[in-house]
Amino acid sequence: MNSNFSSFSRRGPDNVTEELVAVLSGPKSYEFKALFLVVHDALRARNAASGGEEMLRLRAYEKLQNLVGQGQVKKTGKQYKGVRKSILLLAESLRDLRANGPSFTPRPPFAKKKAAPAEKEVVKAKG
């Protein structure tokens, strides 16, 4: 087995999240259906809508719920609206990620650990 292999990879920016952030950073609030239509049209314009409309709808909903959970989007009833300061910071970080790629330090190669010497078992004498 190659010691430099890692099963985890750093991915670039996510198109669905970028479009959600772009739409929600405006002053308007949306119901999910209207929000999805705007995001879907923007992704189709970028030629980035892949996997079918229903799968894209599921991905968009999951990402929207993650943004709500992180406090970057506020949900009031069925309306979603971006939290201005938080969503703008996220948009900036996504732009940096798009421009510079993921930043991470590579893991050092695995070093084989030396086995610890076995401790001597102390047998108590019964007496």
75: helix, coil or strand?
Answer: strand
Q: What would the pLDDT profile of 16-44 be if each residue is shown by its tens digit?
A: 999 999 999 999 999 999 999 999 999 98
Q: Residue 9: pLDDT above 90?
A: no
DSSP state of 103: -
Question: What pTM, to 2 d.p., does this model score?
Answer: 0.68
Q: Residue 92: pLDDT above 80?
A: yes
CATH number of 15-100: 1.10.10
- Look up residue 44 and give its amino acid: R
Q: Residue 1: pLDDT above 60?
A: no
State the DSSP H helix or E strand holding residue 22, giving kind and residue range, or none if neither: helix 15-24
Domain ranges of the chain: 15-100
Closest CA to 14 of 38, 46, 53: 46
Q: How far is CA 55 from CA 15, 16, 40, in A?
A: 14, 12, 11
Q: What would the pLDDT profile of 39-71 be if each residue is shown by its tens digit?
A: 999 998 988 877 788 999 999 999 999 999 999
DSSP state of 114: P
